[in-house]
Amino acid sequence: MLVAQLRDQLVDALYAQRRADYTCPACHQRVGLRHGTRVQPYFAHRPQSSCSILGEGETAQHITGKRQLAAFFADGGVVTLEHVLPQIQQRADCWVARSDRPPLALEFQCSPIATQQVWSRTRGYQRLGVYPLWILGSRYGRQKLGWSLIERFALPLRGWGLCLLFWDVRRQRLRIDHHLYQDALGNYHGRTTWLVNLAGLIAGYQQPLPQVVLNYPVWRARLARDLHLKAPAIMAVQEQLYPLGHHLLHIPAVLATTAQTVPLFGQGLLMWRVLVAARLFALSTSKVTVATVNRLATSSFDVVGGHLQAVGVTATRSLEIAKRQLMADLVNQGYLRAMTDGWVICRPLRWLDED
């Protein structure tokens, strides 16, 4: 904790004298001033105290980073450290009050945190009309881009698409992993940009995004290996296909796609298309209603490990586009005919082993 209360004043630990009557601005219990050789001064609750809005334990990274972030965001508005919001029992590491837009609440997250806790803190800020920014410490900066980070911390930022933000205390720079998405084979992608000031963040990403080339041979080799090893995520899909007489290694060519999705698609868009199509062409009727497609789309999304929402993004729109594109592809290739109230199956879907 960098800020404590002394009578009705807030005092920054950097300028605090050694004295006994500092209190926590949230719970009003006594706190003590601490100095370390490698840690800047900070305030600490007594070991037995139970603060109602206790933040994460103060490591050197967290203490230094909070101050650096306050400096980084200083041009964005009036910045205060450790802003207490008693109505939602939360304390933002940094608070940026902006004249023309809602305030920003910065959470500099260095320690482990459960998804549920990120949800509740994010929703708490949103209820107050505050925009939360999760900024991650070195523990997270070392992690591979994937669902674990995206589920909790990905958020959309103007000019950057879906992002993860990291603060590097040593370099005093903001790392932004932006334009996050999944390719059709389920691989996660994003661009990494380092920013030295807030102006760069506000400006957005100015360069063209590269085209991603799908590597089907690598994907097929991995798929074959995962099937051989009976990897649970792949087996969940394959076990749906066995009763229909199909195999994942014999995917119909019409289902291949280079489309991208939000990074909530689990095993990826291609697997999802395969499952929806396999079930669609196994229906006992040749007439396909919109309701049927919706049902197959949702249940298949579940089987391929898709997530309808993460803390900062939902799959709703991406799933809707995927549905529309799949049906359009099947119509264009002559497998389906569009009707006013649905589709009619014109010919069976040809899998690669069925010649």
Site residues (vs Zn ion, CB under 5 A): 24, 26-27, 51
- Of 24 and 201, nearer to Zn ion (C-beta) is 24
Q: Strand (E) positions, 161-225? A: 161-168, 173-182, 188-195
Q: Which residues pair with 168 in a beta bridge?
A: 173
For Zn ion, the closer of residues 12 and 168 by Cβ is: 12
- Name the 3-class secondary structure at 52: coil
Distance CA(336)–CA(343), nearest Å, equals 6
For the CB of residue 54, give the shortest distance to Zn ion in the complex, in Å: 6
Closest contact distance (angstroms) between CB of 58 and Zn ion is 13
Tell me the Ramachandran region of residue 336: left when phi exceeds 0, alpha when psi lies from -120 to 50, beta otherwise: beta
CB of residue 86 vs Zn ion: minimum separation in angstroms? 11
For residue 18, the minimal CB distance to Zn ion (Å) is 20
Left if phi > 0, otherwise alpha if psi is -120 to 50, otherwise beta: which for 197? Answer: beta
Nearer to Zn ion, 24 or 169 (CB): 24
Burial of 7 (0-12, 13-18, 19+ CB in 10 A): exposed
Minimum gap (Å) between residue 19 Cβ and Zn ion: 18
The nearest distance, CB 307 to Zn ion, in angstroms, is: 35
- Hey, what are 6's tokens? 């002394």
- The smaller minimum CB distance to Zn ion, of residues 53 and 198, is found at 53
Q: How far is the CB of 293 from Zn ion (least distance, A)?
A: 53
167 with 174: CB under 8 angstroms? Answer: yes
DSSP 51: -
The continuous run of DSSP H or E covering 85 comes out as strand 78-85
Nearer to Zn ion, 51 or 259 (CB): 51
**Paired strand residues for 153:** none
| Residue with Cβ nearer Zn ion (25 or 132) | 25
Instruction: Say if residues 165 and 133 touch (Cβ distance below 8 Å).
Output: yes
Decide whether 31 or 275 has the Cβ nearer to Zn ion: 31
Angle 169-170-171 from CA coordinates, rounded to 5°? 95
